[in-house]
Amino acid sequence: MNMAKINVAIIGASGYSGEELIRLLMRHRGVCLKVITSRQYDGQGVEEVFPRFASSGLKFSAPDVERIAAECDVAFLALPHGLASEYALPLLDKGVKVIDISADFRLRSTAKYKQYYKEEHPSPEVLKRAVYGLPELYREQLKTADLIACAGCYPTSSILPTAPILAAGLAETNDIIVSSMSGVSGAGRKVALPYIFPECNESLKAYSPTGHRHLPEIEQEMAVAAGIEELAINFVPHLVPVNRGINSTVLLKAAAGCTLENIAATYEKAYGNEPFVRVLEHGKTSDTKYVTMTNVCEISYTLDAHTGRIILTSTIDNLTKGASGQAIQNMNIRFGLEETEGLL
Amino acid sequence: MNMAKINVAIIGASGYSGEELIRLLMRHRGVCLKVITSRQYDGQGVEEVFPRFASSGLKFSAPDVERIAAECDVAFLALPHGLASEYALPLLDKGVKVIDISADFRLRSTAKYKQYYKEEHPSPEVLKRAVYGLPELYREQLKTADLIACAGCYPTSSILPTAPILAAGLAETNDIIVSSMSGVSGAGRKVALPYIFPECNESLKAYSPTGHRHLPEIEQEMAVAAGIEELAINFVPHLVPVNRGINSTVLLKAAAGCTLENIAATYEKAYGNEPFVRVLEHGKTSDTKYVTMTNVCEISYTLDAHTGRIILTSTIDNLTKGASGQAIQNMNIRFGLEETEGLL
Amino acid sequence: MNMAKINVAIIGASGYSGEELIRLLMRHRGVCLKVITSRQYDGQGVEEVFPRFASSGLKFSAPDVERIAAECDVAFLALPHGLASEYALPLLDKGVKVIDISADFRLRSTAKYKQYYKEEHPSPEVLKRAVYGLPELYREQLKTADLIACAGCYPTSSILPTAPILAAGLAETNDIIVSSMSGVSGAGRKVALPYIFPECNESLKAYSPTGHRHLPEIEQEMAVAAGIEELAINFVPHLVPVNRGINSTVLLKAAAGCTLENIAATYEKAYGNEPFVRVLEHGKTSDTKYVTMTNVCEISYTLDAHTGRIILTSTIDNLTKGASGQAIQNMNIRFGLEETEGLL
Amino acid sequence: MNMAKINVAIIGASGYSGEELIRLLMRHRGVCLKVITSRQYDGQGVEEVFPRFASSGLKFSAPDVERIAAECDVAFLALPHGLASEYALPLLDKGVKVIDISADFRLRSTAKYKQYYKEEHPSPEVLKRAVYGLPELYREQLKTADLIACAGCYPTSSILPTAPILAAGLAETNDIIVSSMSGVSGAGRKVALPYIFPECNESLKAYSPTGHRHLPEIEQEMAVAAGIEELAINFVPHLVPVNRGINSTVLLKAAAGCTLENIAATYEKAYGNEPFVRVLEHGKTSDTKYVTMTNVCEISYTLDAHTGRIILTSTIDNLTKGASGQAIQNMNIRFGLEETEGLL
C-alpha cells in the first residue's frame, strides 16, 4: 500500500467501542491513528486504561475540533447518542469525514427518534446527509458519504439475515419476530448495579421486550428491504453472561412457494461475494464463538414445515461487526481502500 | 410431622437430576432416602461423586427392583429416556409408586413419540396410567396417580406462562412462538465435546430450531389448555453459558379484547394461590438468577400494542422446577404431604 | 423446637451478606426475622431488591436502634467497617446481642487497625468485649459473648486449615504463605468499574499482594494458634470470575518429624466432630463447587518431600462460612440452639 | 517482505494449540501454511472444526512425513507428549526444522522425564539437539536450532518473571513458591468429565499440588538462571473458569540488599527491549485480560518488607505466549524474520 496514510481521530476512545477501534486501527496498514480523545483521561497514556496498547505510545486528549480538523481526514465518534451530534456538524463543516457509531443519525424519521429516545433530534439538518453504515446494503452510497451512521449491533445482526429474504419476497412482512441475546459489553463500559459481575453472571433475562431503541432502526431497514413504507416487528433482547457476541433468532412467515432452495439461492446471490458474511450450509447453526473478535456475521437458516415459518439465526461480535469493525469497513469503502484491510 | 416417613429410592442418582433430588430430599422432613442407584458407582459412597453430601452416609448400589419394592414406597426415575420404561412396569407391579423425570411417559401419542424420539414407544400399555406431572395444571389427578410423568424443563417454562392465557381465550392458538435459553446442566452430566468448558463459555447458539424433542410435549399441553385437539408452535432453544436456569420468551397473538388487565386477572385467578409460581407486576421482567436453586417459576408479561402480540417471559431452575423439585412437589401431592415440604 | 423464638434484626440487609442472612434465617426454625434495615430501600418490600424472597412479606426500614432494642434479642450488623461501630454500643447498652460481620471488632490491636484501615479505631472501649467469631476455635467463649466479631472470609479460609497444624507444632511459624482466590461477591455489592462483568469475566489478577486488610487478622489468629506473640506471613489474594467461593492454598515449612500421619491425626482430633469442617482424605483436593451455598469449609492436605513443605488447600463459600452462615452458627452457639440449625 | 515464503506444516492441528497456530499463521506475511494434519478429520475442510477459518480453504490430512518433507521447511508439532518424538527424528533427518509444542524435548534429564512422565524418554538421542524455546533466554541458540522445544505454559509464566531476579542474585534459591491459575483451554481440547462446563464453571480448585509435570521444567530453567546445578521449588497450579490465561504469583526470599530499585533496574536490563515482555510500573498488578489473544507476558513486582519476600505476578495467554505464539516467535528467530511478524 503505497498511498499516503489516512489520518484518523477517535472521539470518545475510552469505552469498549473505542478500545475495539484502537485495537483494529493499530494493525490497519492504511491509516495513521493521530488523535484519541477522552475528557476523563485527558493527558494520560492509553496504557492507563488499556494496558494491552502500551506499546502504541498513544495519549488521550480532550476533544478539540480545531486540532482534529487540522490533523485528520476522518473522525470516528464513539460517543453516547445525543453527544455525537455536537461533533458531527463542526467536523463536517471543516471537511472531516465523520463515521458515527452512536444512534444519532441512523433513524431517518425525527419523529421516531423522539418517540424512542424521548427527546428532540439534536440536529435534523445534518441527518439528511447521513448514509446508513451497513456495507452489504449501502456500499455504493457509502463510497461518497461524508457522514456515515454505522448500523447498531442488534440491527446488524437482525437485518443481515432478514433483508435478502424480504427483498426476494420469500416472507410475509407483517409477521416478523426477532429474539436476540447480547453479551454485557453491549451495554458499554457502564458502571451500574445491573452490570456488576455477580448480578450478570448466572443470570438470563429479557429486557425492553417492547420499545427497545433499536426497534425502529430494525423496522426502518427491513421495510426498505421489503420495498414498503413501514412494517412493525417484535424485537425482544436478552442480556446473557458473555463478554462479547450477539445471537439473533429471526422467525418469518414463509411466503407461498418459499423453499429451502430459494433461501439458499437468495443468500448466495446476496452474500456469495461478501467478505464478512458467512452463510452456513443448511443443518448447521451459527455460534457467537466462531465470530467473536472478527468482523464476520454468520447466518444459518431453516424452514419449519409444520408452522410454515422460516427460522434464521445470526451471530456477530457486537463490538466488531456490531460497531467498530463495521465502522472501519465503512471507512475502507469511503476512502477506496481494500474493504477488508485491518479486519482479517 | 408425626406420620411415618415415606421410603424413597432414586434410580439413576449420579447425574445432575439425581444430585438435585438428593440435595432436596436430604432436607425433606417427610421422607427417608433409602436407596440411591448407579451402576457406574455401585458400592461407592455418595461423597465419591458428590462431596457435598459426605455427611449423609448414603451409598450407591446397582438398581435392584426387588430390593426397592421391599424397602420403598416410591421410586424416582432419573434415567435417560427409553431406560425409564424398563423400571416403571416392574415397580408398579410390585406396588411402588413411580415418579419419572425422563420423557418416556409425557407424550400421550405413541406416534408423536416415534416421530420425535426415532423409536417405538417402549411400553405403550403403561403409558395410559401416567399422569402429566405439572402440579399447577394436574393437581387433582396427581393425588391418585401411580405413575407420574414429570413435565420437562423447557415444557414447564413454556406451558406455565402460556396455559392460563390460552385457557382464557386471550390469545390465538395458531401463532405461538417460544424462544428459550438453557444453562448447560440441561444437557445432563454429558461428557461430549460440545459441552466442555472452552466450547460453551463465551458461546451463544441456537440448536434444534425445528423438531426438538420437547416440542410435541409443549404442543400437547398448550392444546389441552386451549381446549383444542392440536396446535403447532415454533420452539427454538439456545444453549448459553450458565450452569442452571431456563429463560423462555413466549410470543402470542392477542385475541380481540385482550388487555393488560385481562392478563393480570387471568394470572391472578390461575396462580394467585400457587406456592411456586410468581407473576411479576407489569413492567418487571423475570431473571433466572432469582429462581435458581428454588422451585419457583417466575413469570412476566406485557402487551405490544404496535404488533398486537402478548410477550411473556418465564424463568425456572431447570434442575429444580424443571426436574427434581417438581418431582418432589408431585410426590408431596401424591402422598398427601404439605406441597411445599422440602422445597422452601 | 418448642422454645420461644429468638427475635432477630439485620442492619444493612441490602448487600450480599444481608441477602445471605435473609436466605438462611428464613428457613431457621428458631428465629423470627423481625427487622431488616436499609436506608436506601426504606419502606420498600424485600422483593424490590431480592425477588426471590417475595413470599416473606419482609419490608426494609431505616435502622432504628430503639425499635430494634424493643423488638429484638440479637442484631446482625452487615455494614461496611467503621459504620458497624456506630450501632454496636447503643445496641449492647440496651441489652441486644450483636453479631458483627464487618471488620470493626476482629483485630485486638487498635494499632494494627489504624495501620491497615488508615483511621483510628472507632470504639476501642467496645473492642474489649468482642469475641472472635470462629466457632471451631472460640466455641466456649462464644457461648457467653455479647459482641461477636465474625471472622472474615479470607481469614476463615486460611485459619481453619492452618491453626491445628500450628497448634500441634507441625510447622514453622516464620515461613507461611497464603495464596487465595475469591469470587466477585467478596467485594460486596459494589458498583465500580473493576467489578462490572466485562472487566471481571475472563480476567485473573492478584490484588493487594502486600498489606491486604485481612492480613493482620490472619496473622493474629495464626499467632494465637501457634501460642506465640506475633508472626508475619505472606497473603496474596486474587480476584477470579465466579460469583461465590474462596479457595486458599497455604504453604507451611514442615517442622522436624512432621508426617502425613501426624497431619491426618491432628485434623481428626481438631475437626473430627465439627459439623462444618470436612477434611478430605489424602490425595483429594478441595473445590469451591462442593461448598458453595453451604456452611462447610473443605480442607485438603499434602506434604511435599522435595521441599519439606506442607501444602494445604481450603474452600468455603465466602458469603456463607465466610460471612452470614458463620454468623448464624455463632448465634446458634450463643443462644444455646442446635449449632447446625438453619445451616444444613 | 520480498523473500520467498517459508512453507509450514502443523502436525496435530485440530486441538486448541493447533487452532491458535492456524489463527496466527493465517496473518503471518512470511509463511505459507501448506499442510495441517489430523487423523480424526482427515479429508475434511478446516471449517468443519473451526468455522472461523472457513475462508482459508485449508483441509486436514493424515500426517505424512514424506509429503511434509517434500513441501515444507518447518513443522510445528502440536501433539500430546510421547507422540511428538515419533515425528521429530524422521522430519529432522529429511531436513525439516521442527518446532515442538509438546513436553518431549524440554527436560534435559531423561531421569526427570521418567520420574514425572512415568515412562522412558522416547528418543534420548534427539533430545541433545533440542534448544529450549524461550526466546527471552535462549535467543542466540534458537537462531541455529533445528529442533526447538517450546517452553510450556506454566513454565513460561513462571520463568520469565523469576529468571532475571535469580540471575542478578536478588533472591535466595532455596525458597521459591509458584502459585498459578490456568484457564480450562490449558487442559487441551480434552473431553472428560472434569472439563465439562457445569463442572468447571463456578469452581476453583488446586490440582497436582506436588509433582506436576511442569515442575521439573520450571526448576531446570530457574537453576540455569541462578547459575546452580539444581534447585527445588513448590509449584501449585489451580484450575479456574476462564477460557484462556495463566496468572502466576511467585514468592521469593529477597537476598540481602535487594530493593525495589534493584528489581526495577534488573527487569529494565533484561526486558527493556523485549517486544513481548511488559513489566508494569511498581504498584500495578498484571491481569490476564490485558494479555489474552496476544503474545505478551505482563509482569508486576513488589517487595514485602514485613516478610522479606519479593512478590512477582505474571500473566500470559496460555495458548499464545504459552504455546503457539511463542512457537511462531521461535520460528521467526530461527528463520531470520522480524521476531514480531504475525504476532502484533
Which DSSP state fits A314?
E
Chain A residues touching D26 at Cβ < 8 A: 344
What is the band of A3 on the pLDDT scale with cuts at 50, 70, 90?
low
What is the band of A14 on the pLDDT scale with cuts at 50, 70, 90?
very high
Task: For residues C156 and C160, give the distance between their C-alpha atoms in angstroms, rounded to a whole number.
Answer: 6
Q: How many CB atoms lie within 10 A of CB D40?
A: 9
Burial (CB count within 10 angstroms: exposed 0-12, middle 13-18, buried 19+), residue C44? middle
Cell numbers that stand for C338 in this block: 442446635
Task: For residues A267 and A286, give the distance between their C-alpha atoms in angstroms, rounded to a whole number.
Answer: 15
Residue-wise pLDDT tens digits, D153-206: 999 999 999 999 999 999 999 999 999 999 999 999 999 999 999 999 999 999
Q: How many CB atoms lie within 10 A of CB B275?
A: 17
Fold of B154-318: Dihydrodipicolinate Reductase; domain 2 (3.30.360)
Q: In this structure, are strands D60-61 and C31-37 parallel, antiparallel, or unpaired?
A: unpaired
Task: For residues A111 and A119, give the distance between their C-alpha atoms in angstroms, rounded to a whole number.
Answer: 10
Low pLDDT (below 70) residues in chain B: 1-3
Kindly report the three-state secondary structure assignment for every residue of chain B. CCCCCEEEEEECCCCHHHHHHHHHHHCCCCEEEEEEECCCCCCCEHHHCCHHHHHHCCEEECCCHHHHHHHCCEEEECCCCCCHHHHHHHHHHCCCEEEECCCCCCCCCHHHHHHHHCCCCCCHHHHCCEEEECHHHHHHHHCCCCEEEECCHHHHHHHHHHHHHHHCCCEEEEEEEEEEEECHHHHCCCCCHHHEHHHHCCCCEECCCCCCCCHHHHHHHHHHHHCCCCCCCEEEEEECCCCCCEEEEEEEEECCCCCHHHHHHHHHHHHCCCCCEEECCCCCCCEHHHCCCCCCEEEEEEEECCCCEEEEEEEECCCHHHHHHHHHHHHHHHCCCCCCCCCC
Question: In whole angstroms, how far apart are CA A13 and each of A10, A38, C202, C329?
Answer: 6, 6, 22, 50
State yes or no: pLDDT of D74 exceeds 90. yes
Task: Tell me how close the Cα of B340 comes to any Cα of chain C, in angstroms.
Answer: 13
Q: Is A185 on the interface with C (CB under 8 A)?
A: yes
Q: Looking at residues D316-330, what average pLDDT do you find?
A: 98
Task: Tell me how close the Cα of B37 comes to any Cα of chain A, in angstroms.
Answer: 30
Domain boundaries, chain B: 6-151+322-334, 154-318
Task: For residues A247 and B205, give the distance between their C-alpha atoms in angstroms, rounded to a whole number.
Answer: 7
Low pLDDT (below 70) residues in chain C: 1-3
Q: Looking at residues D293-318, what average pLDDT do you find?
A: 98
Chain D residues touching B197 at Cβ < 8 A: 184, 195-197, 199-201, 241, 243
- Note whether C292 and C321 are within 8 A (CB): no
Residue D189 belongs to what H/E stretch?
none
DSSP for D22-60 reads HHHHHT-TTEEEEEEE-STTTT-BGGGT-GGGGGG--BE
Residue-wise pLDDT tens digits, B132-186: 999 999 999 999 999 999 999 999 999 999 999 999 999 999 999 999 999 999 9
Give the distance, in angstroms, between the CA of residue A214 and the centroid of all CA atoms in the same chain. 11
Question: In whole angstroms, how far apart are CA B97 and each of A104, B68, B83, B137, D211?
Answer: 64, 11, 17, 20, 52
Packing angle between helix D16-26 and helix D325-334, nearest 10 degrees?
50
Residue in B233, B238, B285 nearest the CB of A247: B238
pLDDT the model gives residue C2? 47
Closest CA to B128 of B100, B147, B150: B147
pLDDT the model gives residue D3? 63
Residue D231 belongs to what H/E stretch?
none
Cell numbers that stand for A129 in this block: 446527509
Task: For residues B294 and B290, give the distance between their C-alpha atoms in angstroms, rounded to a whole number.
Answer: 8
pLDDT the model gives residue B3? 63
State yes or no: pLDDT of D145 exceeds 60. yes
CATH number of C6-151+322-334: 3.40.50.720
B66, amino acid identity: E
Neighbours of chain A (3+ CB pairs under 8 A): B, C, D
pLDDT the model gives residue C4? 86
- Taking CB atoms and an 8 Å limit, are D203 and C302 in contact across chains? no
Closest CA to D319 of D183, D160, D158, D162: D183
DSSP for A17-49 reads HHHHHHHHHHT-TTEEEEEEE-STTTTSBGGGT
State yes or no: pLDDT of D132 exceeds 90. yes
Q: Which of residues 240-259 of C touch A (CB under 8 A)?
A: 241-243
Give the distance, in angstroms, between the CA of residue D291 and the centroid of all CA atoms in the same chain. 14
Q: Give the whole-number percent of chain D exceeding pLDDT 90.
A: 97
Task: For residues C303 and C301, give the distance between their C-alpha atoms in angstroms, rounded to a whole number.
Answer: 7
Residue in A50, A290, A293 nearest the CB of D293: A293
pLDDT the model gives residue A4? 86
Mutate to test the interface with D, among C179, C204, C280, C297 (most CBs of D within 10 A): C204
Task: Tell me how close the Cα of D201 comes to any Cα of chain B, in angstroms.
Answer: 7
Mapping DSSP to helix (H, G, I), strand (E, B) and coil, where does residue A326 land? helix
